[in-house]
Structure 1
Amino acid sequence: MDHMLIVGGGLAGGTAAEALRDEGFEGDITIVAAEPRPPYQRPPLSKGYLAGNEGTDAVFLHPSEWYDEHGIRVRAGVSVTALDPSAHRVELDDGTLERYDAVLLATGATPRMLPLPGHDLPGVVTLRRIDDSDALAARLREGGTRLVVIGAGWIGMEVAATARGFGNEVAIVERDAVPLALALGTEMGEVFRALHLEHGVDLRTSVGVERIVGDERAEGVVVDGDTLPADLVLVGVGATPNTALAEEAGLDILNGILTDAALRTSAPDVYAAGDVANAFHPVLQRHLRSEHWANALNAGKVAARSMLGKPASFDDIPYFYTDQYDLGMELSGYAPLMAEAEVVVRGDVGAREFIAFWVDGGRVVAGMNVNVWKVNKKVQALIRSGERIDLDLLRDPDVPLDSLIP
């Protein structure tokens, strides 16, 4: 193989390029990144970077010179407009063609924008790119901004916490009865509701957003007939995988680009990883698409091995973390199995120092440690074992987790 092409300048693409060199590939590597900058990761954009606690070194995977030193060409500020799997080439928006021996599609996702009246007013924003975070930071760090967040998901809740830290007025509006209920269930979602209420957020659930109002820019959000004043409106209602390139090339699509466990798509020598990939998970025996940081990080490494024809299987346990106010959390587990599982708690929920386990048929399928550290590997070991656990022992903080791992 002479040329590995990576489409996408996010964490999955950048990690894959690095892993190709680590795996001993000595041929050409090209990263085509739509943004005019080298690959970077997104979690800090709604957390430490937005708050000003972290700099660009926490965002960018490597300095620009690192790519030169490793013989990796980064074509930044350029987009791929067409993929031709039969000819093994792509066309770029500057009219040039890039041929490849193997190509990785790591095109990510695009934030959803609700089709509300007023959604296109200045001051209505989403958060996905570093420029989005910089623009938000410029407003929020001044304090005195009235922020309305539409959607009580992870992005919205993290930005709300950061905004409150600078003394801004914050309202969150959510159609579901409990924030984060889809991800965590009602019981654990209530933990985050209480957290934000304690920090002065106007959190409104089971409500409908009617429209965004304003003359020259957003000035308010109408919620069930009540207008919430706003200087800034953040829409955080999820993201849609960027599959257009793959669809036009005839690849199999279903809630993302379908791949097998080795991240191979339906086209020869075409692979997919990160937010855009709906990969077959060998443990769950079903396809699973994840938009979390660890998915992009680890899938990029697996994709690199697969592109080189080496044995590769993406069987990681999905992992996510968040920081909000004084609450830090890590979550590992299989989201499709959590909905019907029983929640078993070890520790003090009221003090927000606990581990919650989701147990299905006596087996741990997910675990969330809140302000309890150096336990995530043990939680993952319990999940991976697939063994039945005595729930009384699981609840008891005096019983070491190590003793429960088969």
Structure 2
Amino acid sequence: MFDKLTRTFSDVLRQVSGKSSISEKNIQDAVEEIKIALLEADVNLRVVRRFVNHTIEEARGEKVLRSVNPGQQFIKIVHDRMVNLLGSETEGLQLKGPDTLSPILFMGLQGSGKTTTCAKLALRLKKEGRKPLLVAADLVRPAAVKQLQLLGEQTGVPVFAVEGEKKPVKVVKQALSFAKKNSFNTMIVDTSGRMHLDDDLMKEIQEINSVLKPVEGLLVADAMTGQQAVEIAKEFNERVGITGVILSKFDSDTRGGAALSLKSVTKKPIKYVGVGEKIDELEQFHPDRMASRILGMGDVVSLVEKAQETIQEEEAEELQKKLQSSTFTLQDYLEQFTRIKKMGSLQSLVEMIPGMKGNIDEDALNSKEMKKEEAIILSMTLQERHNHRIIGPSRRKRIASGSGTSVFDVNRLLKKFDKMRLMMKKMTKNKKLQAQMLSQFNGNI
């Protein structure tokens, strides 16, 4: 997502960043390019005008034109305006204490990914220590109840459903009693969707809303629908009242207009984004981090958080010792593949590294190559993985045959591994080099 927009912003900001002085014409030209990029990204016209006018107004002030570093000052203004556009602050769920039930109402059009998102949020809240209950109140779409039950089994979250019931509000009433009786502190209600907005849908959700009295009314909107998602959010907010939005399919190849317009148009925050099809791929939305990623500045904080989720501190220390002493093996290398997979796609990780987005060959991130290397290592014996020096010509031939690759591929992996091990050893011992890398990161944030 945002690929084209990020490229444009990166180009514009690169042009102004190194300037020792900036004129009003420089500012006007840069803002004009930004305006075109936002419109092409399907951002709401009124939102674009407001963004452009505020940026020009701030940039034309003495703060930029007479600044010691006008280029950097202009970039800061664009970044701050972008954060403001996306919502200023991270807004989580407003849940009650662990001993009180917090009902959450889900709503949205059919096909938005509402049912799957219910399960994703339930799993996330379960990991955070809550005791969630999923409620199957979508009685319109065929197999919606069954889908939620299967997702419940997958996440280990109980699902409340009433066989043969035709009225969703009755299911919700029974679910409330069940949740209170069984000490659940979070109740996530999946409701019916339609192919388009209609009175029947709104009346049904309004009726459920009045009975449920939710602490959160969350709209699930498909990021791929662009401005249509904004109009849908506006309608649901006016007719039912929403407290926030979850954007599904945020990892798709879309222009990003919905994410950049929602907060300004509806005055409601984006609370989470679905970043993949897997059940654990739901992330909290951070406006400041997203702004940095859109502007090509990366998102080191999210990258570190992802790393912390997949590797323990003791493991990290052990890994560093191995790298320093050249005892890092192909078995250790194989284990890193598993950790990287848990963190997400290679493309998504690159977007988080300052200055990398748009400056690295996408083909070099081909996951097929990673799978090939994994297959080669898995075709080795444990002894070979722990000591790759013993892998001679006959062993290489056997490994190539076992992994469905060529001897050339095996040779290339072993050479790459040796080079990488040497480079990592130098890096872990060279404090000056580490400091330089950190300063580069900081300079881009």
* TM-score calculated relative to the size of structure 1: 0.30
Larger-gyration structure (1/2): 2
* TM-score calculated relative to the size of structure 2: 0.28
More helix by share: 2
More strand by share: 1
